[in-house]
Amino acid sequence: MIKIVRTGASDAAFKNLVSILDADLAVRDGDEHAFYDQYNKLDSIKYALVAYKNDQPIACGAIKEFDHSTMEVKRMFTAPECRGEGIAVQILSELEKWAAELSYKKCVLETGVRQPEAIRLYEKCGYSPIPNYGQYIGVDNSRCFEKKL
């Protein structure tokens, strides 16, 4: 049984999962990691989720305000040993629900071409490709998506 808990960026389990995510991204992104890392700080995140399985934190995700009607999905991660169980779909669905409860109309996100499993997840969950936004404009490794809520 998976239990998903709404929390914030200061949550210890969330921060621990994000540190594992960052270590994975540092390997995947190589020399480009510092560029992406600067946009993934936790200080601007108010809304975070942690998924627990057998009382162990195994997955996380977060949203932060992008503009007055849009939330940006951030810090999506599932422990490798729990992948393929649909947990990321549950996290993403709960983030979308939370954004809608807060009166946001859509979610946007950025992921990298070196994270093909993330791209598949977002497409499976109804996200559509959009032109790269903000700091990701002109970044070949980045892929941006949106979903209306």
Each residue's pLDDT tens digit, 63-115: 999 999 999 999 999 999 999 999 999 999 999 999 999 999 999 999 999 88
Does the predicted model carry a pTM greater than 0.75?
A: yes
Report which of 33, 36, 11, 51 is spatially closest to residue 109, judged by C-alpha positions. Answer: 36
Q: Which fold has domain 2-148?
A: Aminopeptidase (3.40.630)
Residue 39 pLDDT class (50, 70, 90 cuts): low
| pLDDT per residue as tens digits for the range 112-134 | 998 899 999 999 999 999 999 99
CA contacts within 13 A on the Cβ side of 140: 1
- Output the CA torsion sign for 135, 137, 116, 31: negative
